[in-house]
Structure 1
Amino acid sequence: MNRPPMTKKGAERLRTELERLKTQERPRIIAAIAEARAHGDLKENAEYHAAREMQGFVEGRINELEAALSNAEVIDVSRLSAGKRIVFGAIVELADEDSGDELSYQIVGDLEADIKQRLISVSSPFARALIGKSEGESFEFQAPNGTRNYEITGVRYEE
């Protein structure tokens, strides 16, 4: 079985979310269901149906997190010795050769990806375009809004 990679930091973040869901959200929803049940007729009880829907969502997320954490290969990125070559876990500094903008992304596992935090999935087209390249290289990337040209200005590994 192929185990999906996950950074140590990402695994810790998911464990924290899992713990919060189990110790705070689950009991809160159970209490909301009990309170809504006390109001009587469940067929027309919006609070009950909303709480049950939320319970389904939370239980689904708990299952997803437990499965991901048990199947993942957790990698301590700070121990990788890829040098200036880009592999999983790399924090990549880029210069957009067209606009001059400077960007920074870390290549992480699928479940821990979050573009707002500049964490891109190892399976994304952009990460796949970066992997194997080295600091100092330039490359062309076919983005949805057209071709972009980037220079890799830095590669580092830290947790």
Structure 2
Amino acid sequence: MDRVLLTKKGAEALQAELKNLKSVERPKVIEAIAEARSHGDLSENAEYDAAKEQQGFVEGRIKELESHLSIAEVIDPSKLNVQGKVVFGTRVTLYDIDAAKEVSYQIVGDLEADIDQGQISLSSPIGRALIGKSEGDEFTFEAPSGEKTYEVVSVSYDV
């Protein structure tokens, strides 16, 4: 299995999700299955089928999270000696030269990526292009919508 890189915040979020699945969702599903069983004939019991399907989803997600967390590497960019360079976990403010506006992203692992929260994956085209850049660097990369050019305005390690 590939390395799973996480920020501290991302690891905490996944651990919280795992805890919730085990202590809240799993017992709810078990209760729903027991309730559906009490209604008798299971062969035509839609509640039972739905509860079993939900159980499969919850158990699958628990296994997936346990697997990822067991091999996860939590990286704290503030502890790295890379002054001014973009590395995993840093927050980067960029000037989009084509659109003439500033955008801000944090470089995170694939499991944490959420563009709506300003978190982009290390393996995304812009994530790959950003690694190793410094404040003031201008770079061009191939985005799905075409070639984009940005300038690195600032790099922050306190995320």
TM-score (normalised: structure 2): 0.94
Give the superposition deviation at 1:64. Answer: 0.9
Tell me the SS of whatever aligns to 1:112: coil
Q: Which residue pairs with 1:107 in the alignment? A: 107
Instruction: Name segments (4+ residues, structure 1) moved above 3 Å.
Output: none
Give the superposition deviation at 1:2. Answer: 5.8
Give the superposition deviation at 1:84. Answer: 1.0
Looking at structure 1, the residues matched to 21 and 77 of structure 2 have their Cα atoms a distance apart, in angstroms, of 27
Q: Which residue pairs with 2:116 in the alignment? A: 116
Tell me the SS of whatever aligns to 2:6: strand
1:44-123 maps to which residues of 2 (within 5 A)?
Answer: 44-123=44-123
Tell me the SS of whatever aligns to 1:140: strand
RMSD across aligned positions (CA): 1.4
Deviation digits for residues 73-126 of structure 1, max 9, x if unmatched?
A: 111222222111111111111111111221111111121222221111111221
Looking at structure 1, the residues matched to 68 and 74 of structure 2 have their Cα atoms a distance apart, in angstroms, of 10
Runs of 5+ unmatched residues, structure 2? none
Looking at structure 2, the residues matched to 21 and 87 of structure 1 have their Cα atoms a distance apart, in angstroms, of 32
Greater shift in the superposed pair: 148-157 or 106-115: 106-115
Greater shift in the superposed pair: 16-25 or 117-126: 117-126
Do 2:84 and 2:155's aligned partners in 1 also have CA atoms closer than 8 Å?
A: yes
How many residue pairs are counted as aligned between the two chains? 159
TM-score (normalised: structure 1): 0.94
Do 2:75 and 2:88's aligned partners in 1 also have CA atoms closer than 8 Å?
A: no
Give the superposition deviation at 1:3. Answer: 3.2
Looking at structure 2, the residues matched to 41 and 24 of structure 1 have their Cα atoms a distance apart, in angstroms, of 27
Q: Which residue pairs with 1:153 in the alignment? A: 153
Looking at structure 2, the residues matched to 79 and 85 of structure 1 have their Cα atoms a distance apart, in angstroms, of 13
Looking at structure 2, the residues matched to 46 and 89 of structure 1 have their Cα atoms a distance apart, in angstroms, of 45
Tell me the SS of whatever aligns to 2:111: helix
Deviation digits for residues 26-52 of structure 1, max 9, x if unmatched?
A: 000110111011111112111111111
